[in-house]
Chain A
Amino acid sequence: DSGVTQTPKHLITATGQRVTLRCSPRSGDLSVYWYQQSLDQGLQFLIQYYNGEERAKGNILERFSAQQFPDLHSELNLSSLELGDSALYFCASSVDPRGEQFFGPGTRLTVL
Chain B
Amino acid sequence: SQQGEEDPQALSIQEGENATMNCSYKTSINNLQWYRQNSGRGLVHLILIRSNEREKHSGRLRVTLDTSKKSSSLLITASRAADTASYFCATDAGAGGTSYGKLTFGQGTILTVHP
Interface residues of A (CB under 8 A from B): 2, 4, 31, 33, 35, 42-45, 48, 50, 55-56, 58, 88, 90, 92, 94, 97-106, 108
State whether the Cβ of B41 lies closer than 8 Å to any Cβ in chain A. Answer: yes
Chain A residue at smallest Cβ distance from B90: A43
Smallest CB separation, A66 vs chain B (Å): 14
Given contacts A98-B31, A98-B94, A99-B48, contact A45 B102 (CB under 8 A): yes
The answer to whether B94 touches A2, judged by C-beta atoms less than 8 angstroms apart, is: no
Q: Which of B92, B98, B99, B100 has the most CB of A within 10 A?
A: B100
Q: Chain A residues near B100 (CB, 8 Å)?
A: 97-98
A45-B104, A48-B101, A55-B101 known; A97 vs B44 contact (CB < 8 Å): no
CA distance A94 to B92 in the complex (A): 14
**By the criterion CB–CB under 8 Å, are B99 and A56 in contact?**
yes
A42-B108, A100-B48 known; A56 and B102 CB under 8 Å?
A: yes
- CB distance A98 to B102 under 8 Å? no
Residues of A close to B104: CB separation below 8 A: 45
Contacts A31-B101, A45-B103, A101-B103: A88 and B40 contacting too (C-beta < 8 A)? yes
* Residue contact A42 to B107, C-beta cutoff 8 Å: yes
Q: Decide yes or no: A100 and B33 within 8 Å by CB, A42-B108, A106-B41 being known contacts.
A: yes
